[in-house]
Amino acid sequence: MDNDFTNQNEGLDQVNLPPQYPQTSQAFLQKSKKWIWWFVIILILIIGGGIFYYFYFYRSGVQSGLVNKSEIGCQNSNLFVTSATGQAPVDKQGNYQTTFATASAQLVVITNDKNTLCAEAVALPKNQNKVSFNAKSTAQTMVFISIGILTTDPIQAQQRLDMIEQLNSFPALYSYVKTNLVKSDLGTLTKDTNLQTLLTNCVTEMGQKLNIIK
pLDDT tens digit string along 157-208?
Answer: 999 999 999 999 999 999 999 999 999 999 999 999 999 999 999 999 999 9
Residue-level pLDDT at 212: 83
pLDDT, position 126: 83
Say which range, 44-53, 60-69, 122-131, 134-143, has the weakest mean pLDDT: 44-53
d(CA 152, CA 140): 15
**Structure-model confidence comparison of residues 49 and 186, the more confident one:** 186
Q: State residue 194's pLDDT score.
A: 97
User: Is the pLDDT confidence value at 17 over 50?
Assistant: no
Q: 170-180 vs 193-209: helix axis angle to the nearest 10?
A: 150
CA-nearest of 191, 116, 123 to 154 is: 123
Looking at residues 89-99, what average pLDDT do you find?
89
- The confidence score (pLDDT) of residue 187 equals 93
188 or 12, which is more confident: 188
In the chain, the N- to C-terminal Cα span, in Å, equals: 130
Phi, psi values for residue 87, rounded to 5°: -120, 145
Report the range out of 19-23, 41-45, 78-82, 208-212 with the highest average pLDDT.
78-82
Closest CA to 66 of 95, 89, 97: 95
- Judge whether residue 10 has pLDDT over 60: no
The beta-strand segments (E) located in 58-199 are 62-66, 79-83, 86-89, 95-99, 106-112, 117-123
Residue 12 has what pLDDT? 43
Full-model pTM: 0.71
**How many Cα atoms occupy the beta-carbon half-sphere of 2 within 13 Å?**
0
| Distance between CA atoms of residues 167 and 209, nearest Å | 9
Burial (Cβ within 10 Å: 0-12, 13-18, ≥19) of residue 15: exposed
Closest by alpha carbon to 129, among 62, 200, 74, 191? 62
Is the per-residue pLDDT at 28 higher than 80? no
Q: Which of 131, 130, 161 is CA-nearest to residue 144?
A: 161
- Asked if residues 115 and 63 have their Cβ atoms less than 8 Å apart, the reply is no
pLDDT averaged over every residue in the chain: 80
Over residues 144-161, the mean pLDDT reads: 95
